Amino acid sequence: MPKSRIRKKDDYTPPPTRQPQNILTNRSWVAPVMLAFFLIGLAWIVVFYVTETQLPIEALGNWNIVVGFGFIAAGFGVSTQWK
């Protein structure tokens, strides 16, 4: 019976070293920023109603509601970066 071929094993190659992640690929900032925008927007609207339109910025009048919802919308915009 003929002798089978001997397979040559590949040389060991160590895994590549990990490069440090920069801030754009590291998504750990997304959740705190998103929650901050949500809470700022909610607080803005609540303060507006509780103080009977005197705060946060009286000159804006009912546009304070739009500002509050703008913060909330920004929170939803940031949430699209969450992985």
Share of the chain above pLDDT 70, in %: 93
Report the C-alpha gap between 24 and 37 in whole angstroms: 19
Looking at per-residue confidence, does 2 or 54 come out higher? 54
- Mean per-residue pLDDT, 18-44: 84
- Give the dihedral sign, CA 55/58/64/68: negative
Residues ≥6 apart with Cβ < 8 Å to 23? 29
Higher pLDDT, 8 or 71: 71
